[in-house]
Amino acid sequence: MAQTAVKKRRKHYSAGAVIWIFVKYLSLVFFAFVALIPLYSCVVTAFKTEAEYNGTNVMTLPQSWLNFDNFIQAWQKANMGRAFINSFIILVCVLAGSIIIGTQLAYVLNRFKFPGNGLIRNLFLFASLLPGIAMQVTVYEIMMSLGFINHLYGYIIMSMGTDIISVYIFIQFMENISVSLDESAIIDGASYFQIYWKIILPLLKPAIVTAMVLKGVGVYNEYYASNLYLQNKDKLGVVATALYTFTGPLGSKYNLICAGVIISMLPALIVFLLCQKQIYSGITSGAVKG
């Protein structure tokens, strides 16, 4: 009987409100459909055997959801094992490096007044205006003269440097950490480094998680720079460039390609499911300042 009560209350909605609710859910479903269709077709195709792929429409469900042959083949053909190891090494190093550098920079810029503070902030801001791909023309030349091309360490060092958004996330967050904490620590005889290490860094944890997730996804997905600077694909392939294997002779075997695409997407999906909140807040706070 509770249901009829609900229905009765619903009747109090005006006609306009009912139409609004209808339009609202219709458009949500429509755009969710738009977002999902390309992914759906990809998942479905990845589970199809060669004969099935050739014989059925791309949208039909596969005969068996347990047909992992394509995934195994894609994994082997694209040398995904190596690629995941390389991507993992790059991720760990770049994240550790850029978090340390970024929080230190933010600490200094936020806590100390010194000549050049504003100038340095502006230098970083200006740098964020320069479109990355245009810069690669000459960054490539510099990487070459430093001997950084085709070395993981070179790529790692380059990737650490270009990070402005996370510095802004840190500065914003630090503005809410009371300076009186620093001052009382100084009275207790702490050095500035100790204040950074023992007070600021632990309090920055939420901002660090946000910055790590955002930067991590960016580094993991970066294929243009990794393609340019890690040209030895057998040894230095990363997940983003491993997919390149599927151009050329394998270019029309979409059941393999889709399997490869899904393998490469899985880590991002897992991180997304685990850290939705941090990702959303990172997007919002990064964009407001940037």
Using CB under 8 A as the binding rule, the residues of this chain from 151 to 190 that contact another protein are 157-158, 160-162, 186
Question: Smaller CB distance to another protein: residue 26 or 85?
Answer: 26
Q: Which of 6, 38, 51, 248 binds another protein (CB under 8 A)?
A: 38
Contact status: 122 vs another protein (CB under 8 A): no
Report DSSP letters for 8-36, one per residue.
HHHTTS-HHHHHHHHHHHHHHHHHHHHHH
Q: Which of 49, 104, 150, 172 binds another protein (CB under 8 A)?
A: 104
Residues in 205-224 that interact with another protein by CB under 8 A: 217, 220-224
Contact status: 266 vs another protein (CB under 8 A): no
Least CB distance from residue 249 to another protein, whole Å?
15
**Collapsing DSSP states into helix, strand and coil, what is residue 134?**
helix
Size of the site for another protein (CB under 8 A): 92
Residues in 48-67 that interact with another protein by CB under 8 A: 57-59
Nearest CA to 161 out of 114, 110, 115, 229 is that of 229
Q: Which of 8, 66, 180, 188 binds another protein (CB under 8 A)?
A: 8
Q: Which of 121, 140, 172, 209 binds another protein (CB under 8 A)?
A: 140
Q: Which of 54, 138, 176, 180 binds another protein (CB under 8 A)?
A: 138
Least CB distance from residue 105 to another protein, whole Å?
5
221 burial type by CB count under 10 A (0-12 exposed, 13-18 middle, 19+ buried): middle
Residues 6+ apart with CB under 8 A from 147: 154
54, 182, 276 from 74: Cα distances, Å: 18, 54, 29
Q: Which of 102, 165, 168, 173 binds another protein (CB under 8 A)?
A: 102
Question: Smaller CB distance to another protein: residue 51 or 273?
Answer: 273
Instruction: Give the type of residue at 283.
Output: I
Instruction: Give the type of residue at 87.
Output: S
Contact status: 204 vs another protein (CB under 8 A): no
Residue 245 and residue 78 in contact, taking contact as beta carbons nearer than 8 Å: yes
Contact status: 80 vs another protein (CB under 8 A): no
Query: How many whole angstroms separate alpha carbon 56 and alpha carbon 16?
Result: 44
